[in-house]
Amino acid sequence: MQILDGKIVSQAVKDALKIKTEALKNSGKKTPHLAAILIGNNGASETYVASKVKSCEEVGFKSSFIRLPDTVNESDLVAAIEQLNKDEDIDGILVQLPLPKQISEAKIINVINPDKDVDGFHPMSVGKMVQGLPTFIPATPYGILLMLQHYNIETKGKHAVVIGRSNIVGRPMSILLSRNTYPGNCTVTICHSHTQQLKEICLQADIIVAALGIPGFLKAEMVKENAVVIDVGITRVADETKKSGFAIKGDVDFINVAPKSSYITPVPGGVGLMTIAALLINTYNACEQKSL
């Protein structure tokens, strides 16, 4: 069993980006600039956005952090995004999800200029991804592809089982793993809350991506010997032994699944770090495209 180490792979991505960013600046081009909008006071979202902004600094990008109250109305949020769309210094726009109830996620994602859609959530980006055209790929599935690539994990002809069908992870992951490229060429099964015989399907998987958000859901008896196990879960669970009062738990019962797997991502220290690395690549590409 080998750990897929998000710390090592994300650091390699960041080191390479830092050098490329320095080179951009030295050649008189603009510095990549990410704008992140955070609405309300969701603790997990605060942590994620803070990490994204900090990572921008680490690689020499500019970042702008826009905080709006939980009570913000849709038209004020639209106005804030349109401002960023117009701002020529901003290369990438990220609206941290989930959004408060009064705001339509679909409507907000539609307002983001597709050229600045570094999350890859705009229907234009999703459509291009489905057609295999160059575009921004959503950061979590993109980060997982980078991880598979870094460890040279064979994907061609493998049966990949993706658990979860969210627009952020499960659905794009299933499409990307089926593409005619590397990593890809998998036979993909996408499972969700209505899937019957989930255990039997999981037992057929050479690669399992667990992205359902239920801590410890994937048990050892659901995993074939030598499967590649990718854990996307990052649920906060109360833990009085931690200073923060909570621990981060993945969707995989790591202790029991790890000995059966060929490769496995830990939580924390796995996919979460890769998500940020992939977002940085998208932001760099958004900037470079503009500098052409």
Under the binding rule (CB under 6 A), the answer on residue 139 touching ligand GUN is yes
Under the binding rule (CB under 6 A), the answer on residue 96 touching ligand GUN is yes
In the complex with ligand GUN, the residue whose CB is nearer, 172 or 216, is: 172
Q: How far is the CB of 279 from ligand GUN (least distance, A)?
A: 7
Question: At 34, phi and psi to the nearest 5?
Answer: -105, 135
Please choose, out of 10-18, 92-100, 151-159, 174-182, the segment that lies near ligand GUN by the rule CB under 6 A. Answer: 92-100
Q: How far apart are the first and last CA of the chain?
A: 44
Q: How many residues bind ligand GUN (CB under 6 A)?
A: 9
Give, in degrees to the nearest 5, the angle at Cα 111 between 106 and 113: 125
Under the binding rule (CB under 6 A), the answer on residue 95 touching ligand GUN is yes
Under the binding rule (CB under 6 A), the answer on residue 119 touching ligand GUN is yes
Question: At 128, phi and psi to the nearest 5?
Answer: -65, -40
Under the binding rule (CB under 6 A), the answer on residue 97 touching ligand GUN is yes
Calculate the alpha carbon distances from 123 to 116, 130, 192, 250 in Å. 13, 10, 22, 29
- Can you read off the two tokens belonging to residue 215? 């801590």
Under the binding rule (CB under 6 A), the answer on residue 94 touching ligand GUN is yes
- Can you read off the two tokens belonging to residue 273? 């770090």
Under the binding rule (CB under 6 A), the answer on residue 251 touching ligand GUN is no
Whole-number Å distance between alpha carbons of 106 and 185: 30
Whole-number Å distance between alpha carbons of 34 and 11: 19
Q: How far is the CB of 110 from ligand GUN (least distance, A)?
A: 14
Under the binding rule (CB under 6 A), the answer on residue 140 touching ligand GUN is yes
Catalytic site residue 253?
no
The DSSP code for 166 is -
- CA 213 from centroid of its chain's CA atoms: 14
Under the binding rule (CB under 6 A), the answer on residue 129 touching ligand GUN is no
Please choose, out of 12-20, 91-99, 107-115, 189-197, the segment that lies near ligand GUN by the rule CB under 6 A. Answer: 91-99
Which 3 state secondary structure label does DSSP give 136? coil
Q: Which residue's beta carbon is nearest to the bound ligand GUN?
A: 97
Q: Which residue shows structure tokens 């117009």?
A: 86
Site track for ligand GUN across 26-55, x = CB under 6 A: ------------------------------
Sign of the torsion formed by the C-alpha atoms of 199, 228, 5 and 210: negative
In the complex with ligand GUN, the residue whose CB is nearer, 120 or 216, is: 120
Whole-number Å distance between alpha carbons of 112 and 105: 11
Q: How far is the CB of 121 from ligand GUN (least distance, A)?
A: 7
In the complex with ligand GUN, the residue whose CB is nearer, 85 or 262, is: 85
Enumerate the β-bridge partners of residue 190. 162
Residues at the interface with ligand GUN (CB under 6 A): 94-97, 119, 139-140, 168, 275
Active site residues: 52, 96, 119
